Chain A
């Protein structure tokens, strides 16, 4: 049997479509690329949640340890989901875990932390949501891994999971400890 172009063409097109659609199926449209990757963290200087505490500033993250910046809110359901993981890793001394309390009131946030525990070494409040927009936050929770040079190495939109922690964050922590 001789294969003709008119037979091969539809089969070929079908194969191409199949590959494209298959790739499309496995991509999560909710995961947006971050414009901040390997860029310096945008400057911010946020007031603390509790009076008397220091401000949370992007400048203070340079030098010292790796910083995990976790954007949360007492109103955010998925934050509660990742909270036990944050509590667990907060004991780890290889990095600083800090929080940005986003679009929240101090009363609600304090009550939330009193109920579920406070994993953060430091907290800044962003009630107006300005810093969150500078960071390109699309929803809480969101976590940024910031290296000693103050550059964003990873952005995790949505709750942290043990899998994300082991595969994406742990290697960055190891790398920061080695250098």
Chain B
């Protein structure tokens, strides 16, 4: 029983580690390979649009992974590799969109909403009359 449970646990935990990168794609240099993985995880697969090319088994994703590794081997910086792919596919391939004019709202909206919420809460609290000295919630309820 215990062994089965352990095996199930092993499978569940292990599934998170599964990526689409094939051994034959990997670079011999671990540092370079680590950079390739980091870049691939931020590039969107064009076929299955909510997966990164690191996760996707699509053949186009494989081609892109190979290109990422080729560029790195050729001596490109991470930014240059990203720029190479963006030049061909647009900002759309970046899983994390860059901060620029047409994405400003996307990035700033959460903060704007939080400020609006804080403002609304402040205005609401100020409207409430402060409870009188010694008055409890029960007293206030009884008054109605």
**Contact A133–B63 (Cβ < 8 Å):** yes
- The CA of A33 and the CA of B88, in the complex, are separated in Å by 11
Q: List 25 A-B contacts (CB under 8 A).
A: A29-B49, A32-B46, A32-B89, A32-B90, A32-B92, A33-B90, A34-B90, A35-B86, A35-B89, A35-B90, A103-B59, A129-B59, A129-B60, A129-B63, A130-B63, A132-B60, A132-B63, A133-B63, A133-B64, A133-B88, A134-B88, A135-B88, A136-B89, A136-B90, A138-B89
When each residue 56-68 of chain A gets 1 if its CB lies under 8 Å from chain B and 0 otherwise, what string results?
0000000000000
> Which residues of the other chain, B, contact A29 by a CB distance below 8 angstroms?
49
**Contact A138–B47 (Cβ < 8 Å):** yes
B95 at the A interface (CB under 8 A): no
- The CA of A107 and the CA of B135, in the complex, are separated in Å by 90
B87 at the A interface (CB under 8 A): yes
> Which single member of A33, A135, A138 contacts B60 (CB below 8 Å)?
A138
Closest chain A residue to B45, Cβ basis:
A138
Closest chain A residue to B62, Cβ basis:
A129
When each residue 75-87 of chain B gets 1 if its CB lies under 8 Å from chain A and 0 otherwise, what string results?
0000000000011
> Which residues of the other chain, B, contact A35 by a CB distance below 8 angstroms?
86-90
B67 at the A interface (CB under 8 A): yes
**Contact A133–B67 (Cβ < 8 Å):** yes
Q: How far is the CB of A27 from chain B (nearest CB, A)?
A: 13
A139 at the B interface (CB under 8 A): yes
- The CA of A133 and the CA of B88, in the complex, are separated in Å by 7
- The CA of A7 and the CA of B64, in the complex, are separated in Å by 53
Question: A residues bordering B, Cβ < 8 Å?
Answer: 29-30, 32-35, 103, 128-130, 132-136, 138-139
B-side interface mostly: helix
A-side interface mostly: loop
Known pairs A138-B46, A139-B46. 10 more at Cβ < 8 A? A29-B49, A35-B90, A103-B59, A129-B59, A132-B60, A133-B67, A133-B88, A136-B90, A138-B47, A139-B47
- Residues in B100-126 with C-beta less than 8 Å from chain A: none
- The CA of A94 and the CA of B90, in the complex, are separated in Å by 32
> Which residues of the other chain, A, contact B46 by a CB distance below 8 angstroms?
32, 138-139
> Which residues of the other chain, A, contact B87 by a CB distance below 8 angstroms?
35
> Which single member of B47, B49, B67, B88 contacts A136 (CB below 8 Å)?
B88
- The CA of A176 and the CA of B47, in the complex, are separated in Å by 33
> Which residues of the other chain, A, contact B92 by a CB distance below 8 angstroms?
32-33
Q: How far is the CB of B112 from chain A (nearest CB, A)?
A: 13
Closest chain B residue to A157, Cβ basis:
B46
> Which residues of the other chain, B, contact A129 by a CB distance below 8 angstroms?
59-60, 63
Q: How far is the CB of B80 from chain A (nearest CB, A)?
A: 16
Closest chain B residue to A36, Cβ basis:
B88
